[in-house]
Structure 1
Amino acid sequence: MFEAQASAKFCSHQCSARSKAAQKAERACQECGSKFLPAYGDKRRNFCSEFCANRHFKRVTKGVARAKSYGAQSEAINPIAVMERDGWTCHICGEDAPRELRGTMRWNAPELDHIIPLSAGGSHTYDNVACAHRSCNLDKGDALPPGWAEPQRVWVHRGSGGIA
């Protein structure tokens, strides 16, 4: 029989250990962020469902396929990780790019931008991508950063001293 004490939450150390193990095993889905418990023994599972897993891998592999079509160096890039790295801030204008607008057609929706465009020989790597508003990315087009050969198509990166 379990006699409760004022501070007791579990009937035994075994119950306490089971509860702690379940809490440790709970994790956030890499795609949607919801908390889930992976199936017993499945330590590699990072997604709450097959839908989230497929959605994540489609997003990551889409850029690699595009880079290959240009013959550019590429690596699998998670756009959400890039947006997090950049603090959900447009690297062109410096304004906030709201996370909740990701995937929409709004002018200030965050999207992945290649600093040196793939069409100009840029790579699809973490060093060459940044968060940008949809409208800023469209305005920039295939323009090159300062110091490149085509002065009429040059834009000024926020990290290089301002906005042109």
Structure 2
Amino acid sequence: MRKGPKPERSCRECQRLFTAEYGDKRRAFCSDTCSARNNHRISKGKKRAAEHGVDAGRIDPIAVLERDGWRCHICGGHAPRELRGTFAAEAPEVDHIIPMSRGGRHIESNVACAHRRCNIEKGDGLALEDAEPARRWVHR
């Protein structure tokens, strides 16, 4: 039988360290609030995909941003984690590479990290392979 202090783990939502209660070994969130916030964020994308009539998968935005190293796929700049959820121009967001309005699916391989400013500027544009970087996204 294991004795000593229980190991701390990081909350999947707020990254705060917490200790799970006895019998709750699989708990991934420090509170019910963090769990609800995470579920809301993930289900929001599925709801939008249904509105556009495209396939949808369960995507965790934080996992996508971590996968991309918190770098904007449009300009290549760093997107600071501490700005996530703010209205700052450099705030990291999840961007659909092929927009859902153009038939792009809401799946992990079709999303990437982008600055809020870059995402707004791109809008529902599509990538042009032969365009110079400053004019890479166009609306068709």
TM-score, with structure 1 as normaliser: 0.77
**Maintained 8 Å contact 1:92/1:163:** no
Distance in 2, matches of 1:53 and 1:114, equals 25
Q: Which secondary structure state, in structure 2, belongs to the residue aligned with residue 46 of structure 1?
A: coil
Of 95, 109, 119, 1:113 maps to: 95
In 2, Cα distance between the equivalents of 1:90 and 1:53? 27
Q: Which consecutive aligned stretches of 4+ in structure 1 deviate over 6 angstroms post-superposition?
A: none
| Pick aligned residue for 2:79 from 97, 118, 142 | 97
Asked whether the 8 Å contact 1:82–1:129 carries over to 2, the reply is yes
The root-mean-square deviation of aligned C-alpha atoms, in Å, is 1.8
Q: More strand by proportion, 1 or 2?
A: 2
Distance 2:4 2:133 in 1: 53
Corresponding pairs, count: 135
Match of 1:142 in 2: 124
**What is the CA deviation profile of residues 126-157 of structure 1, one whole-angstrom value per residue up to 9, with x for unaligned ones?**
0000000011001101111226xxxxxxx96x
Whether 1:49 and 2:34 are equivalent positions in the alignment is no
Q: 2:57 aligns with which of 68, 72, 75?
A: 75
1:33 and 2:18 matched: no
Larger of the two Rg values belongs to structure:
1
Length-normalised TM-score, structure 2: 0.89
Which of 30-39 and 122-131 deviates more?
30-39
Structure 1 gaps, min length 5: 1-13, 148-154
Question: Which consecutive residues of structure 2, in runs of 5 or more, have no partner in the other structure?
Answer: 136-140
In terms of fraction of residues, the more helix-rich structure is 1
Describe the SS at the equivalent of 1:41.
coil
